[in-house]
Amino acid sequence: MNLKLLILGITGLFAGCVTLTSNDSLYKSYNKFKADTNAETVINKAPLYFSERLLGEHYKDDPDAPDQLLFYKVMSQEKSVYELLNDALGCLVVNGFDDRHNPITFELTYAQSDHDFKIDKIHTYYHESANEFLLKAECAQ
């Protein structure tokens, strides 16, 4: 009996953490963004993946925008991923290493826009060691 309750509790916990309003997970969307963009295309495709709030009105005029929007290029190897999604907000943590094998973490906050979740905030953490990797996704309001 206790094992059944434990399994039901764990199942409920996971369902609450990853309930999606679309068929895609945030990580799947993140990988689609990486596969779909490069220095030549990211400016035109940015509205598909980034919120209006993050982009601002004049991002197309900023010569640094392509490099900033292609933030994922800093990470050459992924180590672990954590995701949390609720009705209007999602968080994705991607831990990995740069090309010099320095540990880094991307912490992305997604906001719901129409029927899709778009990247609304990007935080990049440079760590002294992989022991400092984030071990869960938390959505700060």
Tell me the one-letter amino acid at 90. G
- pLDDT band for 22, please (50, 70, 90 cuts): very low
On whether the pTM is more than 0.85, the answer is no
Torsion angle, CA of 84/121/73/68, rounded to 10 degrees?
Answer: 170
pLDDT of residue 84: 96
* Tokens coding 77: 């190897």
pLDDT in tens, 95-140: 999 999 999 999 999 999 878 899 999 999 999 999 999 999 988 6
pLDDT of residue 97: 99
Torsion angle, CA of 85/78/60/119, rounded to 10 degrees?
Answer: 0
> If DSSP codes are grouped into helix, strand and coil, which group holds residue 90?
strand
**CB–CB of 117/90 below 8 Å?**
yes
Question: 48: which DSSP letter?
Answer: H
pLDDT of residue 86: 85
**CB–CB of 49/42 below 8 Å?**
no
CATH numbers and ranges of domains, the chain: 2-132 (3.10.450)
For residue 23, pLDDT beyond 90: no
pLDDT in tens, 42-90: 999 999 999 999 999 999 999 999 999 999 999 999 999 999 998 789 9
pLDDT of residue 109: 97
